[in-house]
Amino acid sequence: MLKTISLALAATAALGALAVAARHQPDVTATFRQDAPPVPLGKMAPDFSVKTLDGKTVKLSSMRGKPVFLDFWATWCGPCRMALPHTQELAVKNKSKISVLAISDEDVPTIKGFMKENKYSFPSYRDADHSAATKYKVAGIPCSVVIDKNGKLVSYIVGYDPDGVKAALAKVGIN
């Protein structure tokens, strides 16, 4: 009887420890949920302005005429780190066909250091006031958005989903 009680107490303690640990860990499953886009697919994508790492303002609407790929990311985000090589490949391989905006809210030295360390050359922008992320209802990162050449929302993907991004890019003629 004492052995059964001891095992039950040990199991309860272990479950309690797991519960405490889980509260302090990020919800990795949340990075794979499909969140609602900021507007219905096929509607005009919300306009916003972000800053280049040199401080120049860039407005999304100024990029009409070719598709746009938005990549909301952060240096500390594991799934973002898995997705960024794909963003790099997209930016290099399709430079003349699509505008890439990799958007982070981190400080400029952090972004620049990360870009240099990883030899990334894609355009990175800063959303210091979270206005772009707010307009796009970014609740989890990475968040990939594909907009067609006319400014209409084609795809909105939360989490690391290279196949989903590839399919979304195909819809705007990027293979």
- Of the residues 50, 68, 77, 103, only one is catalytic, namely 77
pLDDT (tens digit per residue) in 122-159 = 999 999 999 999 999 998 999 999 999 999 999 999 99
**Is 80 considered catalytic here?**
yes
pLDDT of res. 36: 82
71 φ, ψ (degrees, to nearest 5): -130, 100
pLDDT of res. 69: 98
| Domain assignment present for 58 | yes
Query: Mean pLDDT in the chain?
Result: 85
Q: What is the pTM of this model?
A: 0.79
Quote the domain boundaries for residue 68: 27-170
**Structural domains counted in the chain:** 1
Six token digits for residue 139: 């609740």
| Domain assignment present for 36 | yes
Determine the Cα–Cα distance for residues 151 and 64; give it in Å rounded to an integer: 6
| Domain assignment present for 156 | yes
**Is 77 considered catalytic here?**
yes
Q: For residues 44 and 8, which has the higher predicted lDDT (pLDDT)?
A: 44
Distances (CA, A) of 89 to 18, 62, 84, 168: 39, 23, 9, 16
pLDDT of res. 50: 97
- Of the residues 80, 157, 168, 174, only one is catalytic, namely 80
| Domain assignment present for 139 | yes
